[in-house]
């Protein structure tokens, strides 16, 4: 599943393509995504002009000049493809799956004057939702926690959220109601930088470790975005460039490797927490 950096790259790519453009027509081939598309989805978006494309957590938000908002989530396998009149070899704006336009599972087409955007999703865990106003949108996102980049994600906030938690720190950081946008890959990396055992209870995290978690959450995500995200398979941005942060992974996917930290003789081990792969150094993460 794409995490905050990959969704940010998709947002940037999509914004360059569709901002200030008018949707001429919407064609829905399959309404049965994670949430069924409303019957008026096509007519509601037809002839609407896009005024901004933004992101919150792992959601992409499309704002229209009319005051309407459309959000979408890529789920496990959703991809976005741009098709110009002159067919490009690389069409995929998204994380995972095909570099080129797939022949199956193209559920929605957004037709613009000289190009079209296709939403493809084999597993159909992605979804789209419409909101008539900013107030409606804000209500929907009311329970989502602050992003790592937000000033609200600070020592006092995180301390108060975890000080009495028996849940392990990794699952706490994956909880979108506590901090928005963090996923499995980046939490593994962040906790390595912090020298924190992902199995450690929230209540056992020291004040010094809380400060490190806040600091490295910000640093790791910024590096990942600058690197174009992580290409586990075929992630491409609008320019057809691979994400390269996977080349900078310290521990994710490196079971059995020596710890990359200087003067540490530990090895990277792999185990599972709530059905997610966890990686840690058996010596320096305590």
Active site members: 2-3, 58, 276
- Whole-number Å distance between alpha carbons of 213 and 150: 14
Residue/partner pairs of 83-91 with CB below 8 Å, 24 or more apart: 83/115, 83/116, 83/117, 83/118, 84/114, 84/115, 85/114, 85/115, 88/240, 89/240, 90/236, 90/240
- Whole-number Å distance between alpha carbons of 273 and 258: 22
Q: CA triplet 243, 247, 251: central angle to 5 degrees?
A: 125
Which tokens go with 172? 């706490």
Its sign, for the CA torsion 260, 262, 268, 272, is: negative
Question: Treating both helix axes as pointing N-terminal to C-terminal, what angle do 155-162 and 207-226 enclose, rounded to 10 degrees?
Answer: 120
């Amino acid at each position: 599943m794409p995490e905050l950096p990959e969704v940010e790259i998709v947002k940037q790519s999509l914004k360059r393509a569709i901002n200030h453009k008018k949707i001429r027509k919407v064609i829905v081939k399959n309404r049965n995504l994670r949430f069924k598309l409303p019957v008026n989805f096509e007519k509601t978006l037809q002839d609407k002009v896009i005024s901004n494309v933004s992101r919150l957590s792992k959601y992409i938000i499309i704002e229209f000049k009319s005051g309407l908002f459309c959000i979408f989530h890529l789920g496990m396998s959703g991809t976005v493809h741009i098709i110009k009149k002159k067919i490009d070899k690389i069409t995929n704006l998204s994380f995972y799956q095909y570099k080129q336009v797939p022949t199956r599972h193209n559920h929605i087409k957004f037709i613009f004057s000289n190009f079209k955007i296709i939403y493809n999703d084999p597993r159909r865990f992605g979804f789209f939702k419409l909101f008539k106003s900013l107030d409606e949108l804000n209500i929907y996102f009311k329970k989502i926690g602050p992003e790592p980049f937000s000033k609200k994600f600070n020592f006092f906030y995180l301390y108060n959220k975890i000080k009495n938690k028996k849940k392990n720190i990794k699952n706490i950081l994956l909880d979108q109601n506590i901090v928005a946008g963090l996923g499995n890959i980046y939490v593994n990396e962040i906790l390595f930088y912090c020298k924190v055992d992902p199995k450690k209870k929230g209540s056992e995290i020291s004040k010094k470790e809380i400060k490190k978690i806040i600091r490295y959450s910000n640093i790791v995500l910024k590096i990942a975005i600058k690197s174009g995200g992580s290409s586990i398979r075929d992630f491409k941005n609008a320019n057809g460039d691979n994400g390269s942060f996977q080349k900078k992974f310290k521990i994710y996917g490196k079971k059995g490797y020596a710890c990359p930290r200087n003067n540490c003789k530990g090895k990277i081990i792999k185990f599972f927490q709530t059905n997610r792969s966890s990686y840690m150094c058996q010596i320096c993460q305590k």
